[in-house]
C-alpha cells in the first residue's frame, strides 16, 4: 500500500495557504501534467522500452499487431475501450491477447476526455463501466488505467485515488493516432529510440493502419540497432515485457505463490495480470 500521508499533508497545507491568500485554489477540471518517467527509472541501467497500445480492440487491425508482436517475442499492454468490446469479434481477440501473454488494462468506456466532462458522475461512470465490461470478458481484475488523451486534472486525481489506482502514462508518442502517416511514425520512432536513455513507455494505437504498417519496420530496425550496439559493446535497448513490469510491482513473495498455483508460464502471466497491486 502506498503512503498517502504526504499527500494529505500537502492538501492541508494548501488549504491553510488559501485561507491566508498565498495561493488560489486550482479548479478541479484545470489541466495538469503527469510526471515522468512514466514507469519509473531503469532497473538494469540499459535503455528500456515498454510497448503499450490504446483504443482497441479492433477486429481488422489488432490481429496484425498481435502477429507482429508474436514474431518479435514482445508482450505488450493493451489499454482497451469498453465500448469496443461490445462487438462479437472482440471476445476472440481478448482471448488471444491473454493466451499470448499480453496484459489488458482499462481505457474507459467510450474514450471521453474525463477532465472536460462537467458531469462528475458521468466521468466516474466512464472509468467504472469500462472496467466492468473489460473484466467481464477478460475474466480477471483490471488494475492498470490510462486516461484518454493522457489528460490530468484534480477531478481525475481524486477519482483514481478513490479507487486506489494510479495513471499509467507514456514517454514516447509518435502521434500516429493524429496524422495517420506510416513514414512519419517510423521516422519518429527510429530517431527517438536511437537516443533513448532510462526507461521509456511507448504509446501506439492498435486501431490505426499506420501502427500496423510501422510496427514491423520499427521492430526490424530495433533488432538491427541492437546488433550494431552489441558489436560496439554499448548498452542495447532492452524491451521490458508487460508481465515483467507487473512482476516488479508485485508485493514480495506473491510471485513464489503464483508459481506454485500456476506452474505453466502462460497461466502465470494471466495470474500476474489479475493480482497487480
**Domains contained in the chain, CATH given:** 38-274 (3.20.20.370)
Name the stretches of the chain with pLDDT < 70: 1-27, 251-277
- Specify the pLDDT at position 25: 45
Per-residue pLDDT tens for 182-226?
999 999 999 999 999 999 999 999 999 999 999 999 999 999 999
- Are 248 and 43 a contacting pair, CB within 8 Å? yes
Active-site residue list:
54, 205
Taking CA atoms, 196 is separated from 44, 107, 123, 172, 189, in Å, by 14, 26, 35, 10, 10
- Specify the pLDDT at position 220: 98
Residue with cell 497545507: 13
What CA–CA distance (Å, rounded) separates 211 from 59? Answer: 14
Helix (H) or strand (E) run with residue 229 in it: helix 209-232
SS3 state of residue 79: strand
- Are 191 and 61 a contacting pair, CB within 8 Å? no
Amino acid at each position: 500500500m502506498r503512503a498517502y500521508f504526504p499527500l494529505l499533508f500537502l492538501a492541508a497545507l494548501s488549504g491553510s495557504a488559501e485561507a491566508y491568500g498565498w495561493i488560489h485554489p486550482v479548479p478541479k477540471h484545470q489541466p495538469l501534467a503527469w510526471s515522468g518517467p512514466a514507469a519509473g527509472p531503469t532497473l538494469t541501467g540499459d535503455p528500456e522500452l515498454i510497448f503499450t497500445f490504446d483504443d482497441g480492440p479492433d477486429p481488422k487491425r489488432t490481429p496484425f499487431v498481435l502477429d507482429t508482436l508474436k514474431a518479435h517475442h514482445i508482450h505488450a499492454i493493451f489499454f482497451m475501450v469498453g465500448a469496443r468490446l461490445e462487438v462479437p469479434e472482440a471476445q476472440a481477440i481478448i482471448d488471444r491477447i491473454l493466451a499470448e501473454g499480453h496484459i489488458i488494462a482499462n481505457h474507459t468506456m467510450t474514450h471521453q476526455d474525463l477532465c472536460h466532462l462537467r458531469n462528475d458522475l458521468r466521468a466516474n461512470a466512464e472509468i467504472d463501466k469500462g472496467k466492468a465490461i473489460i473484466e467481464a470478458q477478460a475474466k480477471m481484475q483490471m488494475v492498470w488505467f490510462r486516461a484518454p488523451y493522457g489528460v490530468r486534472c484534480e477531478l481525475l486525481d481524486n477519482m483514481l485515488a478513490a479507487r486506489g489506482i494510479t495513471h499509467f502514462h507514456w514517454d514516447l508518442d509518435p502521434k500516429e493516432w493524429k496524422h495517420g502517416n506510416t513514414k512519419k511514425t517510423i521516422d519518429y520512432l527510429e530517431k527517438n529510440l536511437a537516443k533513448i536513455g532510462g526507461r521509456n513507455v511507448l504509446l501506439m494505437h492498435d486501431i490505426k493502419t499506420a501502427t500496423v504498417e510501422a510496427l514491423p519496420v520499427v521492430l526490424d530496425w530495433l533488432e538491427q540497432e541492437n546488433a550494431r550496439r552489441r558489436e560496439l559493446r554499448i548498452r542495447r535497448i532492452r524491451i521490458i515485457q508487460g508481465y515483467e513490469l507487473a512482476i516488479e510491482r508485485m508485493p514480495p513473495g506473491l510471485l513464489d505463490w503464483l508459481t506454485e498455483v500456476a506452474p505453466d508460464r502462460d497461466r502465470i502471466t494471466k495470474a500476474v495480470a489479475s493480482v497487480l497491486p
